[in-house]
Amino acid sequence: MTMTCDQLDALLPEFFDGSLTAELETAAADHLATCSDCRTVISELEGVGSLYRTHGRLDLPEDARERIRHALGIEDG
């Protein structure tokens, strides 16, 4: 299954919510592994970028953070 940037973008709420199916989550992770643009978007949404400092902490569940860190290949935030 190949996912486009637009498809990933549409799935971001579910991605952060942890409500993606395993298949879609795998597809999203595969896309992130090959798409630096989407990694940047996710990193900023996750709070690594300027959003974290300007808008405060995003209310993400820890398991979502874990999943995102794993998808991005980040061991520890």
Q: Choose one: 2-10, 15-23, 48-56, 61-69; the region binding Zn ion (CB under 5 A).
A: 2-10
Work out how close the CB of 15 gets to Zn ion at its nearest, in angstroms, rounded to a whole number: 12
| Binds Zn ion by CB under 5 A, chosen from 12, 24, 29, 35 | 35
Residues 44/74, Cβ–Cβ less than 8 Å = no
Computed over its alpha carbons, how large is the radius of gyration of the chain?
A: 12
Q: Concatenated DSSP letters for 20-36?
A: S-HHHHHHHHHHHHH-H
Q: Choose one: 5-13, 20-28, 50-58, 63-71; the region binding Zn ion (CB under 5 A).
A: 5-13
